[in-house]
């Protein structure tokens, strides 16, 4: 965790900033399959087609250890991990669990912005529980998700959506991290460029060749980089709506 509850509350209340939580389920599709099929637990699992033209939709953490990741061609994934187990996706099951998780969110705030079946932003500045500390809400939600679905979620807490999303990825899997207003600017300066939403590793490699490996190395990025980032992010959001 980035800071203590008291420091978080004081920092946000003093400046009148929003309290944003980003919840991201850990390897969601693959974790559902491992939950529902105990024989898959502890093994490298890929959700997707195993044929030559198949694509990995999600990979368990055991598979990720071999370099397997979502959007990777199945033939490449199998080459990286010969023992990889392919499972056909069950999107109706994933959707049902996602709705179950959103019902938990709705008990804390009506301001929910789903990004896909497995992640969402929550604005808990004025929440339904009257809890003043966003970190406490994030902890409660993670505990309830685990208890009610037998799945784990990572959470990021900050004063805007960008940093909340970055924070949720910082302690994955099954982690919680907080980025305060005081931490924000210096934290962003240390970020690799590929951490920005919409900028993948391929684009980041090109930028690194242009000496933009980390944000702090080039504080005044050309506007076209942010336009491209925003366009890609919106495109991904439309795919899941």
150 classed as catalytic: no
Q: Which residues contact 193 (CB under 8 A, 6 or more apart)?
A: 199, 203, 204, 207, 208, 212, 213, 214, 215
Catalytic residue among 33, 103, 119, 140: 119
- 190-196, long-range: CB within 8 Å, 24+ apart, which pairs? 190/214, 190/215, 190/216, 191/166, 191/215, 195/166, 195/169, 196/229
**For residues 97 and 148, what is the distance between their CA atoms, to the nearest angstrom?**
10
Per DSSP, helices labelled H in 107-149 are 134-149
DSSP H/E element including 121: strand 119-123
* 171 within 8 A of 150, measured Cβ to Cβ: no
Q: Which residues contact 42 (CB under 8 A, 6 or more apart)?
A: 62
- DSSP-assigned states of every residue in 225-236: HHHHHHHHHHHH
Q: Which residues pair with 120 in a beta bridge?
A: 23, 114
Residues marked active site are found at 119
């Amino acid at each position: 965790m980035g800071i203590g509850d008291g420091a978080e509350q004081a920092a946000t209340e003093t400046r009148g900033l929003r309290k944003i939580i980003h919840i991201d389920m850990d390897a969601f599709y693959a974790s559902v399959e491992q939950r529902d099929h105990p024989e898959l637990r502890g093994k490298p699992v890929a959700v997707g087609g195993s044929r030559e033209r198949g694509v990995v939709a999600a990979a368990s953490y055991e598979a990720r250890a071999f370099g397997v990741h979502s959007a990777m061609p199945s033939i490449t994934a199998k080459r990286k991990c010969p023992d990889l187990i392919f499972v056909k996706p069950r999107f109706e099951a994933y959707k049902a669990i996602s709705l179950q998780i959103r019902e938990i969110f709705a008990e804390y705030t009506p301001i929910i912005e789903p990004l896909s079946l497995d992640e969402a932003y929550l604005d808990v500045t004025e929440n339904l529980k009257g809890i003043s500390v966003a970190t406490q809400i994030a902890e409660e939600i993670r505990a309830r998700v685990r208890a009610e679905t037998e799945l784990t979620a990572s959470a990021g807490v900050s004063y805007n959506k960008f940093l909340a999303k970055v924070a949720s990825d910082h302690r994955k899997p099954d982690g919680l991290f907080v980025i305060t207003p005081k931490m924000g600017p210096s934290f962003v300066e240390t970020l690799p460029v590929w951490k920005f939403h919409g900028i993948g590793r391929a684009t980041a490699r090109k930028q690194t060749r242009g000496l933009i490996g980390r944000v702090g190395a080039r504080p005044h990025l050309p506007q076209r980089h942010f336009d491209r980032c925003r366009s890609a992010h919106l495109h991904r959001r439309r795919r899941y709506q």
